[in-house]
Amino acid sequence: MRAPAEAGRANEAVLRVVAAALELPLHSVRIASGGSSPKKILEIDDLDLATVRARIDALAR
């Protein structure tokens, strides 16, 4: 991410990118842990794990 880490801008950018990539509204993706770390654990609502994996795999092609 190129957004600065100050005032949560980088975290917001991560959430926006992930939500867009998974074709979800922003409120369906949130940081579960790692808010102040480069490594994050995200919670994703409205999709099962298989669908999340399939959408990520489709992006990698």
Model confidence pLDDT, tens digit, residues 27-51: 999 999 999 888 999 999 999 999 9
Distance CA 5, CA 26 (A): 19
φ and ψ of 34, to 5 deg: 90, 25
Distance CA 32, CA 15 (A): 11
Is pLDDT larger for residue 61 or for residue 16?
16
Determine the pLDDT at residue 61.
87
Summarize the chain as % helix, strand, coil (round to 5).
50, 15, 35
Give the model's confidence band at 3: pLDDT under 50 very low, under 70 low, under 90 confident, else very high. Answer: low
Residue spans of the domains in the chain: they are 6-60
